[in-house]
Structure 1
Amino acid sequence: MPRISDADRARNEEAIRAAMGRLLRGELPVGGKCDLKALAAEAGVTRTSFYPKKNRDGTTRPGPYQHLGEEFERRLKAQRDAGEAPDPRAAQIERLKAQVAELKERVAKRDEALAELTAFKTLAVSRLTAQHEEIERLREQEAAAGNVRRLPAASSGTAPYGSCS
Structure 2
Amino acid sequence: MGRISDSDRARNEEAIRAAIDLLLRGELPPGGKCDLKTLALESGVTRTGFYPKKNRDGTTRPGPYQHLAEEFERRLTALQQAGEIVDPRAAQIERLKAQVAELKERVTKRDEVVAELTEFKTAAISQLAAQHDEITWLREQTAALGNVRRLPAARGGTAPHGSCS
Check whether TM > 0.5.
Answer: yes
Q: Which residue of 2 aligns with 1:114?
A: 114
Cα displacement string for residues 121-154 of structure 1 (whole angstroms, at most 9, x for unaligned residues): 001001011001101100110011012235689x
**1:132 maps onto 2:135 in alignment:** no
Q: Which residue of 1 aligns with 2:55?
A: 55
Q: Counterpart amino acid of 2:121?
A: K
Q: Counterpart amino acid of 2:40?
A: A
Cα displacement string for residues 17-64 of structure 1 (whole angstroms, at most 9, x for unaligned residues): 001000000111111111000101111110010001111111111100
Q: Which residue of 2 aligns with 1:162?
A: none
The change in CA–CA distance for 1:129 and 1:140 in structure 2 (over 3 A counts) is same
Cα displacement string for residues 79-132 of structure 1 (whole angstroms, at most 9, x for unaligned residues): 112221111011001100110111011101101110111011001001011001
Q: Which residue of 2 aligns with 1:73?
A: 73
Q: Aligned residues, how many? A: 157
**Stretches (4+) displaced over 6 A:** none
Q: d(CA) in 1 for partners of 2:54 and 2:136?
A: 94
5+ residue gaps, structure 1: 159-165
5+ residue gaps, structure 2: 154-158
Alignment of 1:9-88 (within 5 A): 9-88=9-88
Identity %: 78
* Alignment RMSD (CA, Å): 2.1
Shift of 1:156: 5.4
TM-score, L = length of structure 1: 0.88
